[in-house]
C-alpha cells in the first residue's frame, strides 16, 4: 500500500493544515515531522513486518501513521486532540488497517486496547513522536504495565534520550536511566535537528529504541522498595549515598546502622548514587529490605 502523495513534506503538511484551518496548540506540544528520511529511520528501528502490529501515540496529521500502515499488519493510533480526528480520517482513508482511538494515552486502558486491536498479533511495537512534557510518564506507563510490547521507538528531547541510555558514572545517569534500563535495553537511533518539524521546537530531538526485556536484568524481592532506594540515592546528587539514604530511611538514633549495611552490600559509603550500577542497587535494596529498612 503506497500513498501517492506523502504527508511528510513541507508542502503537503502546510496544505492539510491550511485546508482544515488547523492551529497548533502549544499546550499539547504539537510539532509535525516533515522529513521522509527521519520517518524511514523510525519505522526501520521498529522492526515491523506484515505480521506485526504498531501502536502510535500522537499521530498528528498522520505522517508517521501512513508509513506504519505500509509496514505493519495493523496500526492503532491514539490521538488526544479531537480536532485532528477528522483530518486523520481523511488523509488515512486509503489504509483500512488503521484504527483511530481518540483519548489521552495516560488515561487509556492499554491492556483492553491491546486485547481489542492486537489479539491476533504476537508482536507489537510502540512508535511515537512524543510531546516533551509527557515523555517520561507515557514511557513509564508503557513499561510498568507489562504490555505485550516488543520494542518502543520514540522521538523525544535529545537530553532525555541521553539520560535514558546513560551509563553509571556519567553526568546523565540517574533514576530515569535505571528505571528505563530495568525494563528495557535503550539504544540511540539518531539525533534529529529542529529544522525537520513544523513548527520548529526550541530543542534538539533524538530517536531512541527501547527493546523491552522479557525479564529485568536483576532479581529484586520488591520493585517498589528497589525504586525507593534508587530515588533516595539521587535525592541530592552532590551528597554521598550514605548521606542520601540516612536522610530518607534513618533517624538520628539508628543512622549508625547504615554503614555496616552498605559494606555488607559491597558499597563504599563515600560513593555517590550515580556511580552505582543497577546490580549494585539490587544488592543494596536486598540488604536494606532484609534489615527492615524502607517499605514492605
Count of H-run helices and E-run strands, the chain? 12, 9
H-state helical runs in the chain: 10-19, 36-46, 63-71, 84-91, 110-118, 135-144, 158-164, 175-183, 223-233, 241-249, 258-264, 278-290
Is 33 within any annotated ligand binding site?
Answer: yes
Is 104 within any annotated ligand binding site?
Answer: yes
Is 109 within any annotated ligand binding site?
Answer: no
* Nearest by Cα to 68 from 143, 7, 139, 127: 127
Contacts of 167 (CB under 8 A, 6+ apart): 173, 177
Q: How far apart are the first and last CA of the chain?
A: 53
* Nearest by Cα to 161 from 144, 123, 184: 184
Is 35 within any annotated ligand binding site?
Answer: no
Is 79 within any annotated ligand binding site?
Answer: yes
Is 129 within any annotated ligand binding site?
Answer: yes
CA distances for 24 relative to 27, 90, 189, 196, angstroms: 9, 19, 27, 16
Question: Binding site for S-adenosyl-L-methionine: residue ranges?
Answer: 31, 33, 58, 79, 104, 129
Question: Binding site: residue ranges?
Answer: 31, 33, 58, 79, 104, 129
Amino acid at each position: 500500500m503506497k500513498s501517492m502523495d506523502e504527508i511528510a513534506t513541507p508542502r503537503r503538511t502546510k496544505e492539510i493544515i491550511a485546508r482544515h484551518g488547523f492551529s497548533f496548540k502549544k499546550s499539547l506540544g504539537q510539532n509535525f515531522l516533515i522529513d521522509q528520511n527521519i520517518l524511514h529511520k523510525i519505522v526501520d528501528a521498529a522492526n515491523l513486518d506484515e505480521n506485526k502490529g504498531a501502536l502510535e501515540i500522537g499521530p498528528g496529521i498522520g505522517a508517521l501513521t501512513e508509513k506504519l500502515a505500509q509496514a505493519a499488519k495493523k496500526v492503532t493510533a491514539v490521538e488526544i486532540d479531537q480536532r485532528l480526528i477528522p483530518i486523520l480520517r481523511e488523509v488515512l482513508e486509503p489504509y483500512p488497517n488503521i484504527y483511530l482511538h481518540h483519548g489521552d494515552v495516560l488515561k487509556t486502558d492499554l491492556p483492553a486496547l491491546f486485547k481489542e486491536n492486537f489479539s491476533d498479533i504476537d508482536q507489537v511495537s510502540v512508535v511515537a513522536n512524543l510531546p516533551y512534557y509527557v515523555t517520561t510518564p507515557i514511557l513509564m506507563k508503557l513499561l510498568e504495565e507489562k504490555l505485550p510490547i516488543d520494542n518502543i521507538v520514540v522521538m523525544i528531547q535529545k537530553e532525555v534520550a541521553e539520560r535514558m541510555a546513560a551509563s553509571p558514572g556519567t553526568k546523565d545517569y540517574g533514576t530515569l536511566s535505571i528505571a528505563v534500563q530495568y525494563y528495557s535495553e535503550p539504544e540511540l537511533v539518531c539525533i534529529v535537528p529542529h529544522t525537520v518539524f513544523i513548527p520548529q521546537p526550541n530543542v534538539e530531538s533524538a530517536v531512541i529504541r527501547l527493546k523491552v526485556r522479557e525479564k529485568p536484568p536483576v532479581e529484586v524481592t520488591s520493585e517498589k522498595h528497589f525504586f525507593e532506594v534508587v530515588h533516595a540515592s539521587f535525592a541530592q546528587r552532590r551528597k554521598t549515598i550514605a548521606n542520601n539514604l540516612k536522610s530518607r530511611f534513618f533517624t538520628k538514633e539508628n543512622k549508625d546502622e547504615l554503614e555496616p549495611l552498605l559494606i555488607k552490600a559491597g558499597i563504599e559509603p563515600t560513593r555517590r548514587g550515580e556511580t552505582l550500577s543497577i546490580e549494585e542497587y539490587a544488592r543494596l535494596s536486598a540488604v536494606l529490605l532484609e534489615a527492615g529498612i524502607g517499605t514492605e
